[in-house]
């Protein structure tokens, strides 16, 4: 039997609720659905989104209202869940959930954008610090060979194949050399980009598009949403996917299919 794990930046969970998110969830698209940029407190969400039939739900909001936040839906309850990063500057922005389902670790991250208020790349140091903190948090489980999935909106296109217009965006946060190098560091350490594991040369495979008119229809996009797998999870991988046909956000869902035996590995 298979286990389907999905990640989706919903660009505001309340907004997504008005665009059919609950209907999509009711179709049971996966076993675990991690969402980012929820931008909502629990009591701000409609009942059918915060307590949908057949799902367990946990949301971790930012202290700043209407900003950031992550959420986790699961058809079976997790065995453990924490939102602590060990760094207050990350915790206040509601950027991380770490859940354990049996032997499988599911890390839901909303990795920061490097743009400051003036779109000046001033948040890149903060962004890279967050990457490193998540890397270090999971290092003990990684070293022990445990199966781990680190998923979410990474806010970085890794290689030129991962965005439609690489030459025009080399100085833009999301495709800066230091951001791409941080992803390289993860890959060199043994983390596996699951989509490229199954689709190494697929072009035009994007997960985010500008909301300017016509951009998504022309597929002028970026692949900035990932599921990275530890070596302990790789033997259980069966497929990885991007679902651009699912609308309701400027991002689309991405995910993986695993052998369900990963839960008891």
| 180-195 tens-digit pLDDT | 999 999 999 999 999 9
Gap between the Cα atoms of 85 and 93, Å rounded: 11
> For the domain bounded by 2-264, which CATH number is listed?
3.60.10.10
CB 5 within 8 A of CB 264: no
Gap between the Cα atoms of 258 and 264, Å rounded: 12
Gap between the Cα atoms of 160 and 196, Å rounded: 13
Catalytic residue numbers, as ranges: 153
What's the predicted TM-score (pTM) here? 0.97
Q: Residue 119's pLDDT is what?
A: 74
Which residue carries 């998540």 as its tokens?
Answer: 134
Q: Residue 117's pLDDT is what?
A: 78
Domain-wise residue ranges, the chain: 2-264
Q: What is the pLDDT of residues 168-178, one digit of tens each?
A: 999 999 999 99
Residues of the chain with pLDDT under 70: none
And the tokens for 25? 């969830």
């Amino acid at each position: 039997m298979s286990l389907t794990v999905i990640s989706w930046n919903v660009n505001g969970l309340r907004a997504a609720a008005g665009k059919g998110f609950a209907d999509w969830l009711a179709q049971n698209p996966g076993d675990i659905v991690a969402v980012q940029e929820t931008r909502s407190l629990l009591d701000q969400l409609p009942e059918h989104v915060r307590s949908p039939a057949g799902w367990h739900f946990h949301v971790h909001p930012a202290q700043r209202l209407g900003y950031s936040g992550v959420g986790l839906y699961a058809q079976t309850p997790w065995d453990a869940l924490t939102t602590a990063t060990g760094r207050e500057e990350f915790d206040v922005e509601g950027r991380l959930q770490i859940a354990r389902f049996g032997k499988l670790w599911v890390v839901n991250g909303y990795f920061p954008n490097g743009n400051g208020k003036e779109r000046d790349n001033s948040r890149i140091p903060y962004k890279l610090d967050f990457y490193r903190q998540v890397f270090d948090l999971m290092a003990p489980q990684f070293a022990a060979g445990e199966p781990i999935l680190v998923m979410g909106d990474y806010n970085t296109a890794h290689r030129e194949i991962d965005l439609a217009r690489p030459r025009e965006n080399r100085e833009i946060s999301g495709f800066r050399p230091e951001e791409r190098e941080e992803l390289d560091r993860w890959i060199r350490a043994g983390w596996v980009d699951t989509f490229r594991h199954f689709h190494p040369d697929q072009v035009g495979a994007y997960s985010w598009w500008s909301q300017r008119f016509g951009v998504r229809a022309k597929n002028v996009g970026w692949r900035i949403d990932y599921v990275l797998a530890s070596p302990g999870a790789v033997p259980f991988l069966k497929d990885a996917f991007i679902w651009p046909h699912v609308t309701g956000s400027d991002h689309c869902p991405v995910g993986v299919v695993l052998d369900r035996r990963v839960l008891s590995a």
